[in-house]
């Protein structure tokens, strides 16, 4: 449930869809978006945290 809310929050922030979700190591994932943004999701102290590590440069509108 926590993971879903982190992904949903990132989608709302970016106004773009995720195109790649990679599991890197225990408790750490990378999520890339159509617009080029990249987020790191990691487990810290029993909670998941989301951090944008690269800003996207493309503007891709999402239709209704």
Angle at alpha carbon of residue 1, lines to 63 and 60, rounded to 5°: 20
63 occurs within a structural domain: no
Spatial neighbors of 15 by CB under 8 A, at least 6 apart, are: 35, 61, 62
* pTM, rounded to two decimals: 0.70
pLDDT in tens, 9-50: 888 888 888 888 888 777 788 889 888 888 888 888 878 888
Instruction: Provide the number of structural domains found in the chain.
Output: 1
Domain that includes residue 31, residue range: 2-54
């Amino acid at each position: 449930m926590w993971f879903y809310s982190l992904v949903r929050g990132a989608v709302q922030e970016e106004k773009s869809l995720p195109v790649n979700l990679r599991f890197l190591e225990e408790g750490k994932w990378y999520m890339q978006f159509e617009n080029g943004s990249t987020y790191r999701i990691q487990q810290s102290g029993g909670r998941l945290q989301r951090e944008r590590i690269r800003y996207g440069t493309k503007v891709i509108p999402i239709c209704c």
